[in-house]
């Protein structure tokens, strides 16, 4: 699956599956992220992304992981702009997701497209539920999840962390979703 589009400023972007040879590019991409963006993703002050995590991200287990990379592609060279992944639970019924978009690329619809693509893949795999943890103060991610139909719930991690959950069963369509700039309300038939 590759999704291609141009931003309002005409920059060509695409979302594709991560590849083993992306490790170097990911390493560079993470080094460009602000402390705030890293904190929102990892819920802790992170100076450097552990090599082990980078290796895991770029060498996903196809049965359990789905990792998508958003890149700027000018036809010659790629540069990372966002990353999203989910990991399927041992029982194989639900998955946990996380995503991150580079500071200068935020607010351009990349996060929404990445989350959409994760949900599409989770449905394709027949999973029942997709969920992720988010800092309670992270209103941007919470709003993004809500507009994609996720419920925002208490988590087991205490009041500072919320759980975003989307049921993928027959009635799991978003209550409110965007389509080509329009807001659609109400459940759609399965």
Contact residues for ligand COA (CB under 6 A)? 8, 37, 40-41, 98-101, 106-112, 132, 134, 138, 140-141, 143-144, 147
**Distance in Å, CB of 111 to ligand COA, minimum:** 2
The Cα–Cα gap between 183 and 174 comes to 11
State which residue, 107 or 180, has the beta carbon closest to ligand COA. 107
- Of the two residues 48 and 171, which places its CB atom closer to ligand COA in the complex? 48
Closest by CA position to 20, among listed 56, 64, 71: 56
Cα dist from 111 to 80, 106, 140, whole Å: 13, 8, 10
Q: How far is the CB of 143 from ligand COA (least distance, A)?
A: 4
Compare residues 41 and 66 and give the one whose CB is closer to ligand COA. Answer: 41
Task: For ligand COA, give the closer residue by CB, 37 or 128.
Answer: 37
Shortest Cβ 122–ligand COA spacing (Å): 15
Smaller CB separation from ligand COA, 40 or 125: 40
Q: 75, exposed or middle or buried, with CB in 10 Å at 0-12, 13-18, 19+? A: exposed
Min dist. Cβ of residue 87 to ligand COA (A): 12
Contact 184, 176 (CB under 8 A): yes
86 CB neighbour count, 10 Å cutoff: 25
**What is the DSSP track for 100-119?**
EE-GGGTTSSHHHHHHHHHH
| Spatial CA neighbour of 83 closest among 123, 137, 42, 124 | 42
- Check if the beta carbon of residue 95 is closer than 8 Å to that of residue 89: yes
The least distance separating ligand COA from the CB of residue 57, rounded to whole angstroms, comes to: 14
- Using CB positions, name the residue nearest to ligand COA: 111
């Amino acid at each position: 699956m590759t999704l291609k589009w141009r931003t309002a400023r005409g920059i060509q972007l695409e979302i594709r599956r991560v590849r083993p040879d992306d490790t170097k590019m990911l390493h560079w991409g993470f080094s460009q992220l602000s402390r705030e963006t890293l904190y929102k993703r990892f819920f802790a002050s992170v100076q450097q992304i552990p090599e082990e995590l980078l290796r895991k991200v770029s060498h996903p287990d196809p049965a359990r992981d789905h990792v998508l990379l958003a890149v700027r592609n000018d036809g010659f060279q790629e540069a990372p702009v966002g990353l999203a992944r989910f990991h399927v639970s041992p029982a194989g019924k639900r998955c946990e997701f996380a995503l991150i978009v580079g500071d200068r690329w935020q607010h351009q619809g990349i996060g929404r497209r990445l989350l959409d693509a994760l949900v599409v893949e989770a449905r394709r795999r027949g999973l029942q539920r997709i969920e992720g943890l988010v800092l309670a103060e992270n209103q941007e991610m919470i709003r993004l999840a809500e507009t994609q139909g996720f419920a925002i719930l208490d988590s087991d991690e205490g009041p500072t962390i919320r759980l975003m959950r989307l049921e993928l069963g027959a009635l799991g369509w978003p209550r409110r979703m965007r389509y080509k700039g329009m807001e659609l309300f109400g459940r759609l038939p399965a």
